[in-house]
């Protein structure tokens, strides 16, 4: 079987179980560090590796050296995204909609879309994020960040809502959690304040992710 399926070099050096990855080496070139995660692990963890380390076939190497990517990979949102990717491979249908197809400020439109796809879970990433314009367009910001989220919460489906850390004042020592009291400092941030509180009182199973 191996003779029939492997590239020609493997037929000649069959005792070598790996091969060089020039693409990976080019991607890692110039970085001072990179992110790695084991191919096989009970728990998905990501760690920094010094650029002088050459990863072997037991690792997935991610050619990024910025803290933002490292933080995203450890976030619950990334975990959920990864589970959804696995779910799609397992035959679960995942549907995404833009504002024109599913306006969260319109309860009727939301109900129609959810019924059409027979949804079992909602992940809401919609938000009015132009904080510099929120002060002059408060009504629109509240319609999306408060009323739109409340419309989704009223559907009765499990809801995961993507919120923002702008709703906090930054005075807490340590990491914020979804149930911490919100206290936005600026006027624009106050327009973002209602969204997490629109979901938690109505739906205990609808956690916002900051």
- Say which DSSP state 65 is in: -
pLDDT of residue 6: 53
> Does residue 119 share a domain with residue 64?
no
Using a cut of 0.85, tell me whether the model's pTM lies above it: no
Closest CA to 198 of 159, 169, 170, 166: 159
Q: Are residues 31 and 99 in the same domain?
A: no
Residues 199, 147 share a domain? yes
Last residue of a domain, one of 34, 58, 73: 73
Domain that holds residue 55: 2-73
Percent of the chain residues topping a pLDDT of 70: 72
Q: Examine the domain organization and report whether 46 and 115 are in the same domain.
A: no
Residues 39, 88, single domain; the answer is: no
The dihedral formed by the CA atoms of 86, 69, 19 and 21, expressed in degrees to the nearest 10: 130
Q: Quick check: 208 and 162 in contact, CB under 8 A?
A: yes
Q: What mean pLDDT do residues 148-153 have?
A: 90
Greatest mean pLDDT among 70-79, 80-89, 160-169, 199-208: 70-79
Are residues 66 and 102 both part of a single domain? Answer: no
Quickly tell me which residue has 């990976």 as its tokens.
24
Q: Which carries the bigger pLDDT value, residue 169 or residue 27?
A: 27
Q: Identify the band that residue 209 occupies on the pLDDT scale cut at 50, 70 and 90.
A: low
Q: What is the mean pLDDT of residues 72-101?
A: 75
* Together in a domain, 91 and 65: no
User: Domain boundary residue among 53, 73, 93?
Assistant: 73
The better pLDDT of the pair 90, 113 is held by 113
Mean pLDDT of the chain: 77
Domain boundary among 40, 73, 106: 73
**Which CATH number does the domain housing residue 190 bear?**
3.40.50.720
Instruction: Classify each residue of 21-41 as buried b or exposed e, where b means 16 or more C-beta atoms within 10 Å of its C-beta.
Output: eeeeeeebeeeebbbbeeeee
Q: What angle do CA 48, 176, 122 make, to 5 degrees?
A: 90
Q: pLDDT tens digits, residue range 151-192?
A: 998 898 888 887 777 777 788 888 877 777 777 765 545 555
pLDDT recorded at residue 133: 79
Confidence of residue 18 (pLDDT cuts 50, 70, 90): low
How many domains is the chain built from?
2
Q: Are residues 137 and 168 in the same domain?
A: yes
In a shared domain, residues 131 and 68: no
Predicted pLDDT at 21: 74
| 26 and 60 co-located in one domain | yes
Mean pLDDT of 69-80: 82
Higher pLDDT, 200 or 27: 27
């Amino acid at each position: 079987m191996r003779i029939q399926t492997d590239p020609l070099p493997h037929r000649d050096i069959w005792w070598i179980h790996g091969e060089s990855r020039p693409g990976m080496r080019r991607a890692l070139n110039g970085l001072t560090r990179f992110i790695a995660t084991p191919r096989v692990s009970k728990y998905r963890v990501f760690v920094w590796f010094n650029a002088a380390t050459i990863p072997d076939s037991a690792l997935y190497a991610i050619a990024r050296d910025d803290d933002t990517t490292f933080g995203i990979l450890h976030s619950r949102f990334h975990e959920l995204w990864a589970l959804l990717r696995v779910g799609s491979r397992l035959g679960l249908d995942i549907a995404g909609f833009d504002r024109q197809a599913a306006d969260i400020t319109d309860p009727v439109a939301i109900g129609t879309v959810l019924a059409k796809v027979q949804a079992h879970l909602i992940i809401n990433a919609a938000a009015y994020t132009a904080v510099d314009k929120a002060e002059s367009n408060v009504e629109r910001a509240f319609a999306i960040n408060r009323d739109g989220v409340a419309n989704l919460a009223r559907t009765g489906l499990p809801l995961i809502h993507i919120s923002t850390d702008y709703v906090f004042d930054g005075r807490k020592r340590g990491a914020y959690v979804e149930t911490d009291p919100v206290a936005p400092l600026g006027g624009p941030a106050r327009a973002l304040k209602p969204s997490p509180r629109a979901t938690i009182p109505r739906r205990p199973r609808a956690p916002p992710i900051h």
